[in-house]
Amino acid sequence: MKIVTCILARGGSKGIPRKNIIDLNGKPLLSYTIGASINSNVNETWVSTEDAEIKKVALSYGAQVIDRPKELAEDFSRNEDSLLDFANHVDFDILVMIQATSPLLTAKYINIGLSKMLTGQYDSVFSVCREHWVPRWTLDIQPVSWSPYHRHHRQEVPEQFIENGAFYITSREALLESKLRYSGKMDVVEMPFSESLQVDNLDELKVISKLLK
């Protein structure tokens, strides 16, 4: 049973330029998820990138690198297309996709997900955190799925799981059949909110920097 990680890290991020290797407490952002993967029960840790500098960083922190075609690293490229490209070049039975923007992820949660997959009961497992109801508004100030005339009490609305984007685990068979990062019979790994934050903007980078100190 061969288990590999694929971390997708393109060079052309827009919200934070060069986001995947931006400095976070003295280390490039990408290094945190590489470390989480290497310390987990996966057999190989790979980074898929089209960028020469990201490739150099990935190799320096112990990952292997697959050169991603540039057409799969555009602003609106689907992650699944890069995973399928990866599957065409790297042999595996179980794939762990980790997002480089989740530096608070640790090997513990990856291993919990893998233990669920190795029971044979699931085709895919992914990370989530728990969310209680909060009133949400559109950017043009319209309530989303609620009314100010009938505002819920938080306790009245069931909690939900939301994807925290840290990792997705699937079998090779399920990926090739569905062409999706998750499919078939699924389960989740719940992570606390405090470890579920992602770096998508500079404010989040500042918050995470303080959490890592």
Which listed residue (78, 136, 151, 154) is catalytic?
151
**Structure-token pair, residue 200:** 């998508």
Active site residue 151: yes
Cα separation, 207 vs 189, whole angstroms: 23
Cα separation, 138 vs 141, whole angstroms: 5
Q: If you count them, how many residues does the chain have? A: 213
Contacts of 111 (CB under 8 A, 6+ apart): 40, 41
Distances (CA, A) of 163 to 44, 130, 169, 200, 205: 25, 9, 13, 15, 19
Return the half-sphere exposure (C-beta side, CA atoms, 13 A cut-off) of residue 4. Answer: 22
Q: Contact 20/99 with Cβ under 8 angstroms?
A: no
The string of DSSP letters for 168-210 reads EEEEHHHHHHH-SSS-SSEEEEE--GGG----SSHHHHHHHHH
Active site residues: 151
